[in-house]
Chain A
């Protein structure tokens, strides 16, 4: 994983990427025990350009290969770790990249989505495994519920959050009942 993070940092240093932040399952693993197989989701800001996405992404893939990555389909593999470059396709993702937490991963500085943004993006994606991830954040107290509620309200995700909170709280009550028996 270090090789992929180092490569991303070099791309930022060279101006090929404006910024990046790690989201998805790897982002969540900075807060919770791992639940899934590894693939690194790097959400990026590309430098301002009026050209097409293909033209903007070509130097990114080329530079990642120069850093030792192997391009396969639409991701680049560093050893066993596939790295996906994903764009700032929504205002929520843009905010998540801008407000990411700076973290030192074994001597390698990297940027990771805040827990609240990881949850909000998961609610927006809306698959069963995304709700499960939000449930884990809620159950383990790894997310600020007020901050998440505020974020959900701003991005029209309050109904989805309510559903996730109800499910998490009901599991919590069930666990408490089981412990009392």
Chain B
């Protein structure tokens, strides 16, 4: 059985690794990244709105 402590340690390592990646980006890259996020977030919010409406309809 894998312990929660082992899993938490792995998560911390993965997050630290991601932070290194995000910090390595230049400002123009960061701006493009936020623009991509904004485009995806619009689609994501619409998808969630539909999922919630569908759940409400099923109640």
Q: Give the distance to chain B from A107, nearest Cβ to Cβ, in Å.
A: 10
- Which residues of A are found within 8 Å of B33, using beta-carbon distances? 37-38, 80
A39 engages B34 (CB within 8 Å): no
A141 interface residue per 8 A CB criterion: no
Choose one: A46, A49, A102, A105; the contact of B43 (CB below 8 Å). Answer: A105
| A29 & B41 in contact (Cβ 8 Å cutoff) | yes
**B47-A89 in contact (CB<8A):** no
Q: Tell me which residues across on chain A come within 8 A of B34, comparing CB atoms.
A: 34, 36-37
Q: By the criterion of a CB under 8 Å from any partner CB, how many residues of chain B are at the interface? A: 34
Contact A104 B22 (CB under 8 A): no
Question: Per DSSP, are chain A's interface residues mostly helix, strand or loop, or mixed?
Answer: loop
> Using an 8 Å CB-CB cutoff, how does the interface string of A43-76 with B read, 1 for contact, 0 for none?
0001001111100110000000000000011110
Report chain A residues within 8 Å CB of B15. Answer: 84, 86
> How many pairs, one residue from A and one from B, have CB atoms within 8 Å of each other in the complex?
111
With contact pairs A30-B47, A33-B38, A34-B37 given, residues A89 and B18 touching in the complex (Cβ less than 8 Å): no
Main secondary structure of the interface of B (DSSP, over half): helix
CB distance from A89 to the nearest CB of B (A): 4
List, in ascending order, chain B residues with CB within 8 A of A31's CB.
Answer: 45, 48
Check A82/B48 contact, CB under 8 A, given A38-B33, A53-B6, A89-B11: no
Closest 7 pairs (CB-CB, A-B): A29-B41, A89-B7, A34-B37, A87-B7, A34-B41, A74-B17, A73-B17
Residues of A within 8 A of B (CB): 1, 25-26, 29-34, 36-39, 46, 49-53, 56-57, 72-75, 80-82, 84-90, 101-106, 112
> 20 interchain pairs (CB within 8 A)?
A30-B47, A34-B41, A36-B37, A37-B25, A37-B34, A46-B2, A53-B7, A56-B2, A73-B21, A74-B14, A84-B14, A86-B10, A89-B4, A101-B48, A101-B52, A101-B55, A103-B44, A103-B47, A103-B50, A105-B44
Q: Other CB < 8 Å A-B pairs besides A50-B1, A87-B11, A101-B55, 10 of them?
A: A30-B48, A32-B41, A32-B45, A34-B41, A36-B34, A73-B20, A82-B21, A101-B48, A104-B50, A112-B48
